[in-house]
């Protein structure tokens, strides 16, 4: 299985070389091999006697992360969908994309995506699953932005990236929580520990985070907004990623984890609730679209909502219906996208207002579209698979179990009505789509190109898919026990037996619900012009795209505002912030740890001349703050320096005193040297509050340093090391001047690097002075 998963990526390595011959042989023919091989590899697993297969390959054993592939009914369904539709889409893209396009890039992205999807559905390890999950987001981003010279493509790619990565990261958080609660990274082992997870205090958080990941990926309300904008991608990409595979990754995630979560009532409320809202909103909004792919995008959203809702119901019947509909949706929606691509390709536009009456010009496409849309609408005809899943959906919505949450019971009562309401709009947009494109008046003068039937190669894939629609429609039990029953069992946790049949007799409520849908839908579809004004008011300004644009815009503006608010270029501001932070943190730590200590036992006596010198220094220091005479301030500063050297003398530190004197003199001289170039000191016109805050900060900082010094002096944790120096300086260092022995012998490295510092400073000054007039030295 490892090889099957990574086969596409391995092939992708060779694509750039193969694409050099694209003028002779279309690169897509090579690509076709990968999904076909995987499809053929997995197809023998279909059958009545199916047992899950586990294969492990080490990756990071110390972190318990490895490529643990788990093939059960659920992953088998998805793997076959991905590889099967992947084959058809690649075939379709060979005829759709001209060789003048950058085929190498397209197929590399597509192959990366295939590997990523295989990895998502086959991984048993949550972290590997997450890695592949992000890879689908990234490759989808690349594919949506394939025509990157278009502004809309870049916008759509960015939007889908932001939303799906946001969800992916939340999901990652959920996985981490799950792993830390259960102590395992394997999904199957987590399912065995369902009770631990359900009783965990983090259960709500895990559920919310995982559902956030699933909802964003599967374009559930209100995160569906990226999917319509992702329609800027080439049509094969839309057909593959945004109808059949990637958007079902979220469905897969919910299905995979539903053995854990389905015990919880909140799972029912959230998944079913959001699913139903998505179903209604998607189908309602689809009627409004004028772009063929726009209609299909909202239709996909709506159908995904329906599947999600059924997963949320969690009953045996609902799970089976969901699984069935995953398969059905992939077949008819894939074919519809391909037909939309054909119409676009052959007529030059996808705008449904310009299209019409194409049935006579493109008879095969029109026939395929009729099958696809009628199946999507759930019209009760015995050869359409969409009807079965829709009827099962109605059936499942009628038999919801009682719940302990009152709200959930209300929801359970309302769901059948909501389901019918949403399905009516599904019917309306399906009819609108197919009749608007293929029936009615011909408007050939409005079309950019003269429409004609598509080449055979382009039609092969949709024909295969529609044949699939009809075969499943005619013989629904063909896929039941061999295939879908295993999938449903993997989700439900117990064997699911279901016999699907077209006719239940007159005594079946779902049939009447279907008839209601068709009846109302026909009426609404015929009178669409009379009520379509409603879209100006609903959603109108409430459109979620506006919310998204507003949010992105506000994020940029707010972060710019925050940055500008403190990064104003004033050193004064930065210094204040730094000092405030230091003062607050230090006092905070002192407060929390009760670190202040006051110990006067070890103090020397204070003499009068010390006090006088200190007072003189203090007066001089204060004076420098207030003077505006440059020379005076330097000279007074000199007093402080000399006072300090005097203190050194009094405390018998002759070396320090020597150095301090020299440095002080040189500093004064240096100040005088550059005085000529310095601006005049002037009275600063600052507001009272500014002055006050500066005063508070400086006093606070001084107080802090004082307190630290007092505390440090009062806390003697260890013996002093200076006694050791005093004793051994003569014997070890061979010198009596202890300070100098320490400087060059005991701690010579420090001295070395301080010499280096001086050297660098000297070189820098020389460089600054010498290079300042040269051009380009900035």
Interface residues with another protein (CB under 8 A)? Answer: 607-609, 612-613, 615-616, 619-620, 623, 627, 629, 631-632, 635-636, 638-639, 642-643, 645-646, 649-650, 652, 654, 657-658, 661-662, 665, 668-669, 672-673, 675-676
Give me the least distance between CB of 590 and another protein, in Å please: 35
Give me the least distance between CB of 656 and another protein, in Å please: 10
C-alpha to C-alpha distance for 743 and 733, rounded to whole angstroms: 11
Q: How far is CA 712 from the centre of its chain?
A: 49
What is the crossing angle of helices 385-398 and 456-474, to 10°?
40
Toward another protein, which CB reaches closer, 204 or 654?
654
Instruction: Please list, in sequence order, all residues whose beta carbon lies within 8 angstroms of the beta carbon of residue 633, skipping any fewer than 6 positions away.
Output: 623, 624, 627, 681
Q: Are 19 and 104 in contact (CB under 8 A)?
A: yes
Toward another protein, which CB reaches closer, 433 or 741?
741
C-alpha to C-alpha distance for 360 and 358, rounded to whole angstroms: 6
Toward another protein, which CB reaches closer, 627 or 711?
627
Toward another protein, which CB reaches closer, 580 or 613?
613
Residue 31 buriedness (CB in 10 A; 0-12 / 13-18 / 19+): buried
Toward another protein, which CB reaches closer, 290 or 665?
665
Give me the least distance between CB of 628 and another protein, in Å please: 12
Give me the least distance between CB of 575 and another protein, in Å please: 27
Q: How far is CA 457 from CA 145, 453, 654, in A?
A: 26, 11, 97
Give me the least distance between CB of 729 and another protein, in Å please: 15
Toward another protein, which CB reaches closer, 406 or 674?
674
Toward another protein, which CB reaches closer, 677 or 720?
677
Toward another protein, which CB reaches closer, 376 or 738?
738
Toward another protein, which CB reaches closer, 168 or 643?
643
- E strands present in 61-180: 65-71
C-alpha to C-alpha distance for 112 and 106, rounded to whole angstroms: 10
Give me the least distance between CB of 753 and another protein, in Å please: 26
Instruction: Please list, in sequence order, all residues whose beta carbon lies within 8 angstroms of the beta carbon of residue 165, skipping any fewer than 6 positions away.
Output: 134, 137
Q: Which residue has the tokens 């999917």?
A: 227
Give me the least distance between CB of 758 and another protein, in Å please: 19
Give me the least distance between CB of 686 and another protein, in Å please: 24
Give me the least distance between CB of 624 and another protein, in Å please: 9
Give me the least distance between CB of 645 and another protein, in Å please: 7
Q: Are 221 and 281 in contact (CB under 8 A)?
A: yes
Q: Are 252 and 330 in contact (CB under 8 A)?
A: no
Instruction: Please list, in sequence order, all residues whose beta carbon lies within 8 angstroms of the beta carbon of residue 61, skipping any fewer than 6 positions away.
Output: none
Give the helix/strand (H/E) hosting 55.
Answer: strand 53-60
Give the helix/strand (H/E) hosting 57.
Answer: strand 53-60
Instruction: Mark out the alpha helices in 406-543 (DSSP H runs).
Output: 406-438, 456-474, 485-492, 509-526, 528-531, 534-537
Give me the least distance between CB of 704 and another protein, in Å please: 28
Give me the least distance between CB of 646 and another protein, in Å please: 6
Give me the least distance between CB of 703 and another protein, in Å please: 25
Toward another protein, which CB reaches closer, 361 or 644?
644
Toward another protein, which CB reaches closer, 500 or 738?
738
C-alpha to C-alpha distance for 586 and 592, rounded to whole angstroms: 10
Q: How far is CA 528 from CA 289, 378, 431, 531, 721, in A?
A: 13, 20, 11, 6, 93
C-alpha to C-alpha distance for 15 and 7, rounded to whole angstroms: 13
Give me the least distance between CB of 677 and another protein, in Å please: 11
Give me the least distance between CB of 739 and another protein, in Å please: 11
Toward another protein, which CB reaches closer, 572 or 665?
665
Q: Which residue has the tokens 């690649």?
A: 90
Q: How far is CA 777 from CA 367, 536, 658, 760, 773, in A?
A: 74, 62, 39, 18, 8
Instruction: Please list, in sequence order, all residues whose beta carbon lies within 8 angstroms of the beta carbon of residue 508, skipping any fewer than 6 positions away.
Output: 395
Buried-state track 200-235, b at ≥16 Cβ within 10 A, e below 16? beebeebbebbbbbbbbbbbbbebbbbbbbbbbbbb
Give me the least distance between CB of 760 and another protein, in Å please: 23
Give me the least distance between CB of 750 and another protein, in Å please: 23
Using the Cα atoms of residue 611, residue 614, residue 619 and residue 622 in order, give the sign of their dihedral: negative
C-alpha to C-alpha distance for 214 and 662, rounded to whole angstroms: 72
Toward another protein, which CB reaches closer, 445 or 683?
683
> What number of residues does the chain have?
778
Q: How far is CA 683 from CA 625, 626, 627, 636, in A?
A: 11, 9, 9, 18
DSSP 351: B
Long-range contacts (CB closer than 8 Å, 24 or more residues apart) made by 38-43: 38/4, 38/7, 38/8, 38/79, 38/83, 38/86, 38/114, 38/118, 39/80, 39/83, 39/84, 39/86, 39/87, 41/4, 42/4, 42/71, 42/76, 42/79, 42/80, 42/83, 43/80
Instruction: Please list, in sequence order, all residues whose beta carbon lies within 8 angstroms of the beta carbon of residue 228, skipping any fewer than 6 positions away.
Output: 289, 294, 297, 298, 301
Toward another protein, which CB reaches closer, 478 or 666?
666
Toward another protein, which CB reaches closer, 456 or 619?
619
C-alpha to C-alpha distance for 591 and 596, rounded to whole angstroms: 8
Give me the least distance between CB of 623 and another protein, in Å please: 5
Toward another protein, which CB reaches closer, 632 or 712?
632
Toward another protein, which CB reaches closer, 271 or 657?
657
Toward another protein, which CB reaches closer, 552 or 632?
632
Q: How far is CA 202 from the centre of its chain?
A: 22
- The per-type count for the chain, helices as H runs and strands as E runs, is 33, 2
């Amino acid at each position: 299985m490892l090889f099957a998963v990574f086969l596409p990526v391995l092939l992708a390595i060779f694509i750039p070389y193969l694409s050099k011959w694209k003028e002779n042989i279309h690169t897509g023919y090579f690509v076709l091999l990968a999904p076909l091989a995987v499809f053929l590899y997995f197809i023998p697993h279909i059958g009545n006697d199916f047992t899950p297969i586990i294969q492990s390959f080490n990756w990071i054993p110390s972190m318990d992360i490895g490529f643990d592939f788990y093939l059960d009914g659920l992953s088998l369904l998805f793997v076959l969908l991905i590889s099967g539709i992947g084959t058809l889409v690649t075939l379709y893209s060979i005829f759709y994309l001209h060789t003048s396009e950058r085929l190498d890039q397209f197929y590399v992205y597509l192959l990366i995506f295939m590997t990523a999807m295989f990895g998502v559905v086959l991984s048993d390890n949550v972290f590997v699953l997450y890695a592949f999950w992000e890879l689908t987001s990234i490759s989808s981003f690349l594919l949506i932005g394939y025509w990157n010279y278009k502004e809309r493509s870049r916008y759509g790619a960015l939007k889908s990236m932001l939303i799906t990565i946001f969800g992916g990261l939340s999901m990652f958080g959920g996985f981490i929580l799950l792993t830390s609660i259960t102590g395992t990274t394997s999904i199957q082992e987590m399912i065995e520990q369902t009770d631990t997870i359900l009783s965990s205090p983090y259960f709500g958080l895990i559920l919310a985070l995982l559902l956030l990941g699933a909802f964003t990926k599967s374009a559930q309300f209100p995160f569906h907004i990226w999917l319509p904008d992702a329609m800027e991608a080439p049509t094969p990409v839309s057909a593959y990623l945004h109808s059949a595979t990637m958007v079902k990754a979220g469905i897969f995630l919910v299905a995979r984890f539903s053995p854990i979560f389905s015990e919880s009532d909140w799972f029912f409320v959230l998944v079913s609730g959001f699913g139903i809202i998505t179903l209604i909103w998607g189908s309602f909004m689809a009627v409004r679209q004028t772009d063929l792919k726009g209609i299909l995008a909202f239709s996909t959203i709506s159908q995904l909502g329906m599947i999600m809702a059924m997963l949320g119901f969690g009953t045996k019947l609902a799970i089976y219906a969901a699984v069935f509909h995953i398969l059905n949706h992939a077949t008819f929606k894939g074919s519809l996208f391909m037909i939309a691509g054909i119409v676009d390709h052959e007529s030059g536009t996808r705008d449904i207002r310009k299209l019409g009456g194409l049935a006579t010009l493109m008879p095969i496409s029109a026939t395929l579209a009729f099958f696809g849309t009628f199946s999507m609408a759930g019209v009760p005809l015995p050869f359409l698979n969409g009807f079965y899943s829709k009827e099962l959906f109605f059936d499942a919505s009628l038999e919801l179990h009682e719940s302990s949450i009152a709200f959930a019971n209300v929801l359970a009562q309302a769901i059948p009505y909501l389901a019918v309401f949403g399905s009516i709009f599904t019917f309306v947009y399906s009819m609108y789509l197919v009749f608007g494109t293929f029936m009615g008046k011909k408007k050939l003068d409005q079309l950019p190109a003269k429409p004609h039937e598509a080449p055979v190669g382009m039609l092969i894939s949709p024909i295969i898919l529609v044949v699939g629609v009809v075969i499943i429609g005619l013989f629904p039990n063909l896929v039941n026990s061999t295939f879908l029953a295993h999938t449903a069992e993997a989700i439900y946790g117990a064997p699911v037996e279901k016999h699907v049949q077209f006719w239940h007799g007159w005594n079946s409520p779902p049939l009447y619900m279907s008839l209601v849908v068709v009846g109302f839908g026909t009426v609404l579809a015929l009178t669409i012009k009379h009520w379509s004004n409603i879209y100006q008011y609903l959603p109108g300004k409430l459109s979620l795209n506006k919310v998204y644009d507003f949010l992105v815009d506000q994020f940029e503006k707010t972060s710019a505002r925050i940055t500008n608010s403190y990064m104003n270029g004033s050193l004064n501001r930065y210094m204040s912030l730094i000092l405030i932070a230091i003062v607050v943190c230090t006092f905070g730590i002192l407060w929390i740890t009760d670190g202040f200590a006051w110990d006067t036992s070890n103090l020397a006596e204070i003499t009068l001349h010390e006090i006088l010198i200190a007072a003189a220094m203090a007066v001089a220091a204060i004076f420098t703050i207030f003077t505006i005479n440059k020379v005076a301030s330097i000279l007074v500063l000199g007093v402080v320096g000399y006072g300090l050297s005097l203190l050194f003398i009094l405390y018998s530190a002759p070396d320090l005193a020597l150095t301090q004197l020299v440095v002080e003199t040189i500093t004064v001289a240096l100040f005088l040297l550059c005085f000529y170039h310095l601006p005049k000191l002037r009275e600063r016109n600052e507001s009272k509050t500014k002055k006050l805050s500066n005063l508070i900060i400086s006093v606070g900082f001084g107080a802090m340093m004082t307190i630290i010094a007092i505390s440090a002096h009062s806390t003697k944790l260890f013996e002093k090391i200076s006694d050791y120096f005093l004793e051994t300086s003569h014997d070890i260092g061979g010198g009596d001047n202890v300070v100098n022995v320490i400087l060059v012998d005991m701690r010579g490295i420090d001295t070395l690097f301080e010499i280096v510092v001086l050297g660098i400073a000297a070189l820098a000054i020389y460089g600054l002075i010498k290079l300042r007039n040269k051009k380009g030295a900035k």
